[in-house]
Chains A and B, each alone.
Chain A
């Protein structure tokens, strides 16, 4: 699951040479594409002299066989274009570019990371797939993702009023763990027994 944000006119304009084909990927469609901003940006680009010659819509660009088929359908438009301006997440753009290695591809959007696994619901919870789940010690709150520093052995001490020093909008993960432990009348014995060291190799299967 991802969230994309369209780039600014200033950033895109220098890259848009010749006839430009615009392709928005509406795959994670419905609620996940910034349609309004996309339309506004197109108007701005046109007003600034970019030659947005045509536009075709893709969906689930990340699925190679869908994309291949669409390339077939829109062959004419693609061949006629000097530059293809793609609005999709990084996976989609790479899939597209991989199938058309000879074409100049411009990525129209930036991709942001959203908690929750691929394809499913955006979630308040996050999981980094570290491959060594420790939530048994931390009462079901993940220190790898809930602590902005990913500390495994307790708080850094920088939090103020329960908020993280890295980003004040974020709650301190270790305070949450402590509060939950107190609520469950749990014990921190397991945590204190040894120092937790992350094995990065585990996530590298």
Chain B
């Protein structure tokens, strides 16, 4: 059974506390929110209780700092740093936490640290969740021969070769309330018909030396180093990139019908420039709006006839969006506007920016922010960063573009740099793409203006904030943009699209996306026309979903689940992946407060609170806890031991908070 009411420590008795603080004054109290306690309230009662006792002992409390997960050294140091003066001026620091919390504080502050609590032992110690099972972590698992009942911890004497003979009626002689583990073992083995073999087994000796300090110490250091590698938090998901990384970009056949949503970007949706029955050509502008500067026009990806303008399924938006449906005549007649505009050297800065705006180019990593808007930065910008991390598992689209279209990509970057008036360009990619890095480096040899940065693979490296911190050592302020630290970040696909727009005059009507997943028969990296419905790709690639699988657009971590295959590919669709369902258990607690989400949140938030606060409807408090800063990378979802859909909770909260502000 899962227990929810475990508590890791309890306040020391009043008498002991009074003795502890004798001879000390001006006490600064640091308390930890307990993990693994029943999660109903964020406030901790222990402080009030301790404060009473200290006051009646005639001592003063100089301050109180509540901290969540005090044992998280990185975050705790950050918090305590803010209270430098208070700590300096205090007589001693009283910590109400488990032994880990107390030691973390004592290592961080240069003060006498007093323990205000005693830690309490729990079962299920090593598992993530609390359970009735125990594990002594002896380093030489005996469970194979004992039918899965542990003799080391369940036998009060830790005997590994059979019963001591002292049990009576199945109860242990050490404590009559506990069962004799060896009787349990025997009964279970009997059920499995394995008693005979077991008795014949040679005696076992416990090797206490197996639990080596060095092995564990090195492991701890490794994990901690990985955690803070480049930026705090993050994950190392199984990537399975090899499923499709070796497959060259292939042109996906033109469908008979394309559905082109008028909103494929962050910002205001376009208004249709065509009506039902109109003939359109490939590359013709079919949607635009002048009502807001934050928008991007959309173009037809085929030549043919508009058969409908109606609300259609959208791959990202929750409700249907106005879309232009075009029946292709398969003649692929180009619009007159599709013609080369010139070359890098001959085009003026403003002209490039104009082309980028006119050809509907947006961020192709998923968010779809109009590229032209980024170029008109109100703040000084010194660097254009091309994001080639592609940290999502399974996806290879950017990788293939970097490998196969390197020269075009570099030219695209130069065009963006010129349009933004910036002399420094960086292409950043992860070290799991050595071939692409090599190719780009060889093409850029002797060029000081653009550098290729290879960073260690870690999710979510491709998030702008993390990447900027890693590559440029600059910290984007919370709620801020890369522009605030002088950087324009663009996706690999975007840079290629800029090249395509300038050198071919082609608007953003096609993109490379990865179709992958362990059970997908025909995986690949396809150049797909915007507006191609997912069902075409599903059919072409022979995808059939098993009962425990889902189809997502984007990557496995941040992608959007597609319940049916009606939605079309849009400018920001980087992949189509088949992944295992994130199974959510309806029963049981929705948060066990294990703290793993806090440990891995790259934005240094505390997702665990969102689960509790959302349930209580406290959205204002969620905002105080920084919910609007969440980048929805899905790390917390991925690691949640209670299998809560934290990202869904966050998305919902963001929506409600933003609606309220309007």
Contact = CB atoms under 8 A, between A and B. Distances in A.
Contact of A184 (B8, B110, B122, B216): B110
B72 interface: yes
Nearest to A83: B144
Nearest to A15: B144
A131 B98 CA distance: 10
A154 interface: no
B98 A129 contact: yes
A95 interface: yes
A96 B148 contact: yes
Contacts of B72: 120-121
Majority-rule SS of A interface residues: loop
A184 B112 CA distance: 7
B510 to A, nearest CB: 35
Contacts of A117: 8, 35, 71, 98, 100
A64 interface: yes
Given A114-B219, A118-B36, A141-B106, A94 B237 contact: no
A120 B139 contact: no
Given A117-B71, A170-B213, A91 B124 contact: yes
Interface string B118-148: 1111101111111101111111111111011
Given A97-B147, A107-B141, A126-B100, A133 B220 contact: no
A102 to B, nearest CB: 5
Interface residues of A, number: 84
B626 to A, nearest CB: 20
B116 to A, nearest CB: 8
Contact of B143 (A5, A107, A118, A135): A107
Nearest to B596: A119
B141 A63 contact: no
Interface residues of B, number: 93
Interface string B144-188: 110111100000000000000000000000000000000000001
Given A64-B1, A98-B148, A130 B119 contact: yes
A172 interface: no
Nearest to B117: A133
A41 interface: no
Majority-rule SS of B interface residues: loop
Contacts of A134: 115
Interface in B568-608: 583, 585, 587-588, 592, 594-596, 599
Contacts, number: 293
Nearest to A96: B148
Contacts of A202: 118
A65 B2 contact: yes
A186 B112 contact: yes
Contact of A112 (B20, B100, B139, B238): B139
A130 to B, nearest CB: 7
B135 A63 contact: no
A132 B119 CA distance: 7
Given A3-B219, A118-B122, A122-B223, 6 more contacts: A114-B219, A117-B98, A118-B127, A119-B127, A127-B99, A129-B121
17 contacts: A30-B236, A60-B129, A60-B643, A90-B137, A90-B143, A91-B126, A94-B133, A98-B149, A102-B191, A103-B192, A112-B137, A120-B71, A127-B103, A128-B99, A133-B117, A169-B213, A184-B112
Interface of B: 1-2, 8, 12, 20, 35-36, 69, 71-73, 98-100, 102-107, 110-115, 117-122, 124-131, 133-145, 147-150, 188, 191-192, 194, 210-217, 219-220, 223-224, 226-227, 235-238, 548, 583, 585, 587-588, 592, 594-596, 599, 638-639, 641, 643
The 6 closest A-B pairs by CB, nearest first: A97-B148, A140-B106, A127-B99, A62-B127, A90-B135, A119-B594
Interface of A: 1-3, 5, 7, 15, 27-32, 35, 60-66, 69, 73, 89-98, 101-107, 109-136, 139-142, 145, 148, 167, 169-170, 180, 183-184, 186, 202-205
